Amino acid sequence: MKTKEISRPGKINKPRVNVVTLGCSKNTYDSEVLMGQLKGNLFDVVHESEQVRSDDIIVINTCGFIDNAKQESIDTILQYSELKEQGKVGKVIVTGCLSERYKPELEAEITNVDAYFGTNDLQNLLSTLGANYRHELIGERLLTTPSHFAYFKIAEGCNRPCSFCAIPLMRGKHVTKPIEELVKEAQYLARNGTKELILIAQDLTYYGLDLYGKRNLDDLLRRLSDVNGIEWIRLQYAYPSGFPMEILDVMNERENICKYLDMPLQHISDNMLKSMRRGITRQKTIDLVNAIRDKVPGMAIRTTLITGYPGETEQDFEQMQQWVEETRFDRLGCFTYSHEEKTHAHSLVDDVADQVKQKRADAIMEIQQGISFEKNQEKISQTYKVLIDKKDGGYFVGRTEFDSPEVDNEVLIDAGKHYATVGSFVNVKIDSAEDFDLYGQIVK
Ligand code: SF4
């Protein structure tokens, strides 16, 4: 990992901080900012080191999104507080979404945690550790991803009323980060070897409305695209209603903006979209996907769906199945509905049985597996620009511009026949393909 620019006058012995990150890429980003601040304050800081020390300060950045994620966060807190009981770690600090949402309950239930913080509590957390928030470090952070790609949070919070979603309860209202600050951050990352920026927010397409009085993700994209060294810019978490079509012009205009769009759509039946308060109809959703594909030929669209939402009938679900078959998304993920207290949907009856929720999600993923296989066959004999993420076993593993890390397809190159540097771009001719993986060889 490339050494960082965070300045550290005169090293002083302080307990090591071992940061553990759960949940989504926005949490990863927040952990990296925290680690950058701690490093700037002379702390020895590591990410998820398994070799714990008896004086370690463990900071757990939790997720409070849906049932499974909440359970994972609670298990992790219990695991480390148990280690503390055994004297194997020093302090346990909990922050992030679960702590923001359930602080009183957690304080009452798991009492040997030293302190609980919310999602917007960085300065308090730092001062509790004896560190000062250093403004001059804004935009500087310690990456936990391979340094050639970085998650890039352009806004915090969300103003949308989606009935099933607890995120606004944990992350608050939408707050756009100023363009100048983001450009400075991108320049810092590029100087430190980052080539791919993965733009994230709760609602990417709302960017600018609160700060500039207009949607101006297009302006931001042009400014980031001008940053020297940034070769790929990827968009995640777009929202369909009020979608700013002008960003597609920038995509067509700029070579270094990936023809990739992640846009959770959640459902397609009007009955469900209305109850979910998504602010869009079935027909408008279909028209939007077609318009995006017309405007940017070859665009890879990723989406996320929910099965088993209250009141979802067999007919609603059949509509979803048929739509997924017809639309042939390039990438798709599917969640089962989670009945989250204090959300609007919590006032509805959670009437779809868990096994039915799961059976429907499995059925959707089975359709998608077939579509992904067929689409991957079409890539055989094509050559793609691939970013090498790692060496794994006998393969170099990378991604095309149509693939996000951790969730999408991978390109595997036989390391016995080819050599590539992690973090570099190579051209790969695809020889064979499976449901979610491509195999190929490096060509000039
Ligand atoms: S856009 Fe909807 S689903 Fe996404 S974070 Fe906001 S409220 Fe939740």
203-212 pLDDT, tens digit per residue, is: 999 999 999 9
Amino acid at 332: L
pLDDT band at 341; cut points 50, 70, 90: very high
How does pLDDT run across 89-125, given as a tens digit for each residue?
999 999 999 999 999 999 999 999 999 999 999 999 9
What is the per-residue pLDDT for 4? 41
* Ligand 1 atom at shortest distance from the alpha carbon of 202: 5
Hey, which of 153, 202, 237, 280 would you mutate to test ligand 1's pocket, going by the most ligand atoms within 8 Å of its Cβ? Answer: 202
Cα–Cα distances in angstroms (integers) from residue 356 to residues 66, 71, 251, 316, in the given order: 18, 21, 40, 13
* Ligand 1 atom at shortest distance from the alpha carbon of 168: 7
Q: Is pLDDT of 9 > 70? A: no
| Minimum CA distance residue for ligand 1 atom 4 | 202
List ligand 1's pocket residues with C-beta within 6 A: 158, 160, 162, 165, 167-168, 202-203, 239
Q: What is the mean pLDDT of the chain?
A: 95
Distance from the alpha carbon of residue 165 to the mean position of ligand 1, in angstroms: 6
How does pLDDT run across 164-177, given as a tens digit for each residue?
999 999 999 999 99
Q: Dihedrals φ, ψ of 266, to 5°?
A: 70, -45
What is the per-residue pLDDT for 136? 85
Angle between helices 314-327 and 354-377 (to 10 degrees): 10
pLDDT band at 3; cut points 50, 70, 90: very low
What is the per-residue pLDDT for 46? 97
Distance from the alpha carbon of residue 217 to the mean position of ligand 1, in angstroms: 18
- Per-residue pLDDT, averaged over 191-216, amounts to 97
Distance from the alpha carbon of residue 203 to the mean position of ligand 1, in angstroms: 7
- First-to-last alpha carbon distance for the chain, in angstroms, is 27
What is the per-residue pLDDT for 7? 44
| Minimum CA distance residue for ligand 1 atom 5 | 202
How does pLDDT run across 270-289, given as a tens digit for each residue?
999 999 999 999 999 999 99
Q: Is pLDDT of 6 > 90? A: no
Q: Is pLDDT of 2 > 60? A: no
For residue 406, how many other CB atoms are within 10 A of its CB? 10
pTM: predicted TM-score of the whole model, two decimal places: 0.95
